[in-house]
Structure 1
């Protein structure tokens, strides 16, 4: 089991650069605006963005303003289509894990058609980011496909209720219900419930970190689904840029005012962080760290403009002091956003 966990850690880290969450529009604009005049010229755009210059420059003045930039990125788009399944992968889509008809309480399960060995497979479970208010399980295939292609892993991707629909702790209740569902159906699909890695970025990083530290916390289990006889413990965690201590996020440089009533964290909790300190502590993974937590790989960029790098540092320290195996990849100079 240790060998399989190590393989998950190493291989996911190797693909880390391709699994980062989307940048905030203002951050993109600031990075591209080399002369800091508040406008983007054609020459300042990356080559792959230049073909859209005339579409974005709606007033045709030869430059792109922040308003034009944001309007283009936030323009109405066609609903996201399910990414085609690569050859050799069997997909089970939109499986309800909570005995409801809510599409936010479904998961996708993926199995290799040809297995490398005739044995139960370890499984990688991906939880999407998006500030707890955006995102979906459909974003996972590009990340999971390389592992499925080896024939050595099963994989799953989870939807959970977003903050616009339900506030905390609905999100962790959903994730734990999904884990229990997977364990309850492991034998049927030929994967090992005792070798389950969870991987998430940003808000998903927060949720996988919470899964890693709360396996024995009854208050966070919820009572969703038909597999309440299963526990929600997992084997290892891969946390990309996840918030871990909500009350300290506002103390460090960020493009987001995390303490503001409209911050992603405040929307998750249903009120401003500093006015809801008790709930904020209960929603922070660092609160639950104990020596029996799952091994946790932490990946975070030192210049992350959204989730302060300190969130990774303090979580790594807490896990280490508790005696939990926790490799830490702090990428200096990377924003990981």
Structure 2
């Protein structure tokens, strides 16, 4: 099934080609075919629908040998086939999206070999998993605010939830997770997150950023900074306090919140950061030579080839004495981002004289699965932390950023 078909240009030679995405029983595989004389897409190949979603089970050499698909680099690294007439590639970023923890929970349909091809009149079962209809967001006051229009990309938005009253209210920017390759600003872990924060007197901004399949780092950090700039610029009209800005990022969004909080200056500065099970050291992850991991998708290639770049993107390697206070909320049984990583990050911050509170969530894995407490209590704990941080600001501190 052809889902996407767009004209592109090969960076290396300037030759036109078409980028196509095929979907086969839940497995999304981009292939590239050189334009024929009539502008048609060249021969496309597909991986079989029974390939496992766990990357550890993918035999890359066998795939190349059996199916003639070259697995190499990203979409712009197009490999010329031996006959010189076709260009085909499996995008490593796309494969990394298939192995994200969220997607591993969605089993692939593996019985395609036993089924004949459908006839023209036969009804074809859709392969798309539909998301549920969203609940009304009763706290939403400003929807789909355009904060940035990066050239060549989609406009980036945020949704703002402001408490009733004159304000100005402190603002918390929510940065979603998803392994940098999936996710949405409307996804939350606590289903009553906005209600709880607004009731505590906080405005909440749900922030967009480009995913790694759209643009590699540091595009994501630039997008978050753009949201901070936009909110500060319109602070008076939005009834928010430009001197009381905080970030809350979960999982991959935690890495982005951490690096934005540590590197933001001037109008991009924030006064507090909360991380929910966020990775803080991209230079020390597993599978350093693997181009198919999600961190490799974020950084544009294998981590082993981008060690210095990975450190630049890692909160752990950007700590300084003037960093804002941090709260780390982390499951003690997290196997995706181990709890020890949060402990080490807290120790490094404290060594620089920076406040860092750690809230262990006993028995919880990643995304607080198996937690012994209701996730709403963790949202409330974050509000308590922000109350304390902002109450300690000097009376003129909030006006300094105006």
1:76 paired to 2:128? yes
Structure 2: segments with no counterpart, 5+ residues = 1-52, 55-103, 110-126, 368-402
Instruction: Tell me how far apart the structure 1 counterparts of residues 173 and 329 of structure 2 sit (CA, whole Å).
Output: 17
Q: Give the aligned partner of residue 276 of structure 2.
A: 240
Give, in angstroms, the shift of residue 199 of structure 1: 0.5
Give, in angstroms, the shift of residue 149 of structure 1: 3.3
SS of structure 2 residue aligned to 1:210: helix
Q: Give the aligned partner of residue 145 of structure 1.
A: 195
Q: Give the aligned partner of residue 161 of structure 2.
A: 110
Give, in angstroms, the shift of residue 330 of structure 1: 2.5
Instruction: Tell me how far apart the structure 2 counterparts of residues 81 and 103 of structure 1 sit (CA, whole Å).
Output: 23
Question: Highest Rg: 1 or 2?
Answer: 2
Structure 1 residue corresponding to 2:207, chosen from 158, 169, 172: 158
Q: Which runs of 4+ in 1 moved over 4 A?
A: 79-82, 100-104
Give yes or no for contact 1:96–1:105 (8 Å, CA) kept in 2.
Answer: yes
Give yes or no for contact 1:98–1:178 (8 Å, CA) kept in 2.
Answer: yes
Instruction: Tell me how far apart the structure 1 counterparts of residues 133 and 240 of structure 2 sit (CA, whole Å).
Output: 28
Q: Give the aligned partner of residue 94 of structure 1.
A: 144
Structure with greater helix percent = 1
Q: Give the aligned partner of residue 275 of structure 1.
A: 305
Give yes or no for contact 1:94–1:103 (8 Å, CA) kept in 2.
Answer: no
Give yes or no for contact 1:202–1:243 (8 Å, CA) kept in 2.
Answer: yes
1:129 paired to 2:177? yes
Structure with the bigger RCO (C-alpha within 8 Å, sep 6+) is 1
Q: Give the aligned partner of residue 319 of structure 1.
A: 349
SS of structure 1 residue aligned to 2:269: coil
Instruction: Tell me how far apart the structure 1 counterparts of residues 290 and 331 of structure 2 sit (CA, whole Å).
Output: 24
Q: Give the aligned partner of residue 45 of structure 1.
A: none
Instruction: Tell me how far apart the structure 1 counterparts of residues 315 and 106 of structure 2 sit (CA, whole Å).
Output: 35
Give yes or no for contact 1:197–1:235 (8 Å, CA) kept in 2.
Answer: yes
Give yes or no for contact 1:259–1:266 (8 Å, CA) kept in 2.
Answer: no
**In 2 relative to 1, CA 200–258 (structure 1 residues): closer, same or farther, beyond 3 Å?**
farther
Instruction: Tell me how far apart the structure 1 counterparts of residues 234 and 289 of structure 2 sit (CA, whole Å).
Output: 41
Instruction: Tell me how far apart the structure 1 counterparts of residues 106 and 196 of structure 2 sit (CA, whole Å).
Output: 34
Q: TM-score w.r.t. structure 2 length?
A: 0.57
Give yes or no for contact 2:261–2:270 (8 Å, CA) kept in 1.
Answer: yes
**In 2 relative to 1, CA 293–271 (structure 1 residues): closer, same or farther, beyond 3 Å?**
same
RMSD of the TM alignment (CA)? 2.5
Instruction: Tell me how far apart the structure 2 counterparts of residues 162 and 183 of structure 1 sit (CA, whole Å).
Output: 24
Give, in angstroms, the shift of residue 276 of structure 1: 1.1
